[in-house]
Each structure stands twice: as C-alpha cells, then as structure tokens.
Amino acid sequence: MLASSGMWLAHRRRLCSAALGVFALVSVPGPASAQSDQERTAARSLATEGATAFEQERFQDAADLFGKAESLMHAPPHLLFLARSEAKLGRLVRAREAYLKVVKETLPSSAPKAFRDAQAAAASELKQVEPKIANLTLLVEGGDAATDVAVTVDGNVLPAVLVGVPQPLDPGAHRVEAGATGLRAAPQTLTLTDGEKKSVVLTLTAAPGAGPLVAAAATPTAAPAAPPAPAPVATAPAAGGPPAADRHEGSSKSGLRIGSYVGFGVGALGLIGGTVFTLQSASKRKDADKKFAACGGDAGCTVGNPLSGEVDQLDHDANSARTLGIVGFALGGVGVAAGVTLLILSSGADEEHASVVPWLGPGSAGVRGRF
C-alpha cells in the first residue's frame, strides 16, 4: 500500500532495524520528559513487540502495540510504524493522520538521527498514501421542515455541518443512511476505489411511525413555560412539633454540646499527659542529682569520669520530659477552655462575649478568656 512490492521488500529490514535502534533511544528521558522509568521501559518493550509483529505481517497487532507505546511515551518512530500498520490494513485516513503528526512535529536540534530519519520517511510515504484516499459527498433532499435530520456513514453519525462537504474515506465498501422522525431515505451501499471522488443523494420520504434515525440528533420540543410559583404562605407549625427555627436552634446547640464534650476529653488527655511527663522529668532530675553526687560532684564529675555521660543523659531526658509536660498542659488548658466555651454557648450564652486565647511562655502555658 505504501510503495511498490519490490521497493518495500528492499527497504523493509533496513527500516525495521532502524526502528529497533530508536526504541533503545527512547528509553533515555529528554529535557521535558515526565515519564517514569517504568513507563519508558514498557514503551520500549511494546515498540519492540510491535516491530516483530510488523515484520511478521500481523499488522493489526502492530498497530495496537505501537499505539500503546505512543500513549506511554511519544517518539516519531512509534507514529511512523503505526501509520505503516494502518496503511497495510487499508485504513488510509488513519494512516494519513499518523503520518501528518510525524511530519508536522518540530524536532529540536538535539533530536536523534533516527527521529529525523522517521520524519523524512513519513513525509515520503505520506505522498504515496494521500492520492489513494477516496472522497464522498453526501447530499440530503426532502425533509426541509424536519429538525432532527441525521446522516450516518458505516453507522457513525456525520456532523450536520459536513453534509454536502467532501469527506475523506478509505477505499472499499461503505453504507450510508439518512432519516428523521417520520422520514427515511433508502440505505445505500457503495464501493469506493483508490482516489475516487463520488457524490450520493439521499432522498427522504415519508415513513409514518418512524422515530429519529439517531436519538442524539433529535431536537427536543420546547417545554411549555412553567406557571409562576405561588408566593409562600405562612403556615402554623404542625401540632405536637416545634417550629422549624426552634428545631434548627436545637440542632445547633446539640452540636455545640457535643463539641464541648470533645474539648473536655482533649483537655483531660492533655492534662494527664502533662502531669505524667512532669513527674517523669522530676524523677529523671532526681536520678541525675544522685548520679552527679556519686560521680564526685563538681570536682570529680568531669569528662573523663565514666559516670559523667550518664549524668548528661539523665539531664537530657529530664529536659525532654519537662518540655513534653509543658506541651501537654498547654493542650489540656486549650481543650478544657474550648469545652467550657462551647458548653456555655450551647446553653444560650451570647457567643459574641465568649472568647478563649491560649498562651505559652518559658516553662509555663495556659489559656485566658472571657465568658
């Protein structure tokens, strides 16, 4: 399909070998590459399998494999061999699109030679494919008053703006139809040869009871304007139930009350933790003092004394526990204060006059506020 048999056979192995060399190159990420190593490896593997399939004339498999490789990592050879596979399958329109992507791409000056060779090959082969693409013009007569006229080619809907415009098609057999609600044109099957240009007229005639040819093409009838909504009428609350505003207020207060319980819980955990770490700090400090005395005090507890390191470690542990104790008390204070505030608000207090401000100072922490 791409060239004469002799010419193609003469160059076939050379082209496949060049492609396999490129597949090794695409594993190296370029400056704008965002693919992972896994994706590059998978793309190279797919392209290698695609080249094998192409060599074995399994062109559908080759098209699928090169398409997947291109979806993982762009490389001109992927598109080149995808185009060749599509051309071998007789899908010349798809082949042309793939060739055009290669030809129109602007390659950087640092692009591998294999990429440039792929672009040159695509430009040459595109010139051989384009003259073989057929053109079909579909015209529709009748049904001027219909609002949902649709035309299909091989089951695919042709956009309304393309009716009457030459459409590129692959050579071969094609089925065309046209219809609308209550209207149908006799389906036609036609065969296009390489490069043939043909026009077909589809005449719509009455077909009582026929629905739209394509449901999506039907234009829905405008719905009647809805009457204006009646003005809201105030109604008395249902017997036995509180007004809606009261229900909302009750729900809000319930949420605040739950929040206060959570605050008290967090506060209790913080205070307990602060107490535990403070006691632990005091214990470590006492152990450090005893070890310091056993070490010989200021005169004997020097760097050379084996007990000196133990004293330093106990002091470090005592300081760390003290810091954690301060953080625990601060968290506990904030939690308790938040719980108190939310509890007051849930009881109906004016939230504008309730506030809590935590504070943290050297060796101490707490909260202050007003309610």
Q: Which CATH number do you get for residue 205?
A: 2.60.40
Same domain, 208 and 323: no
Domains contained in the chain, number: 3
Final residue of a domain: which of 87, 114, 131? Answer: 131
State which H helix or E strand residue 137 sits in: strand 134-141
Looking at per-residue confidence, does 317 or 119 come out higher? 119
User: Tell me, what's the pLDDT at 72?
Assistant: 93
pLDDT of residue 323: 83
Asked if residue 227 belongs to a domain, the reply is no
Q: Which residue has the higher pLDDT, 121 or 271?
A: 121
pLDDT of 192 over the 90 cut: yes
In-domain check, residue 234: no
Query: Does residue 236 fall inside a structural domain?
Result: no
- Of 15, 45, 32, 49, give the one whose Cα is nearest residue 111: 32
Same domain, 167 and 272: no
* CATH classification at residue 120: 1.25.40
Residues 11 and 81 in one domain: yes
Higher per-residue pLDDT: 45 or 16? 45
Residue after which a domain boundary falls, among 109, 131, 153: 131
* Claim to verify: residue 250 and residue 337 sit in the same structural domain: yes
Residue 258 lies in a domain: yes
Instruction: Answer whether residue 223 is part of any domain.
Output: no
107 and 144 belong to one structural domain: no
Tell me the per-residue pLDDT of 227-250, one tens digit each, with 9 for 90 and over: 444 444 444 444 445 555 555 555
For the chain, what is the mean pLDDT? 77
Looking at per-residue confidence, does 344 or 252 come out higher?
344
Domain assignment present for 272: yes
In-domain check, residue 74: yes
Residues 68 and 156 in one domain: no
Task: State mean pLDDT over 131-143.
Answer: 94
119 pLDDT higher than 60:
yes
* Within a domain: 305: yes
pLDDT digits (tens, 9 = 90+) for 46-99: 999 999 999 999 999 999 999 999 999 999 999 999 999 999 999 999 999 999
Average pLDDT over residues 264-282: 82
pLDDT of residue 270: 76
Does residue 121 sit in the same domain as residue 142? no
- Please indicate, yes or no, whether residues 154 and 258 belong to a single structural domain of this protein: no
- Of 86, 113, 131, the one marking the end of a domain is 131
H-only helix segments in the chain? 5-25, 37-55, 59-72, 76-88, 92-104, 113-129, 244-295, 297-300, 306-346
Are residues 122 and 168 part of one domain?
no
pLDDT category of residue 337 using cuts at 50, 70 and 90: confident
Q: Which domain holds residue 365?
A: 246-370
> Do residues 160 and 202 both lie within one domain?
yes
Cα separation, 25 vs 35, in Å, equals 14
253 and 284 share one domain = yes
pLDDT greater than 50 at residue 292: yes
Position with higher pLDDT, 340 vs 51: 51
Burial of 123 (0-12, 13-18, 19+ CB in 10 A): middle
For the whole model, what pTM was predicted? 0.51
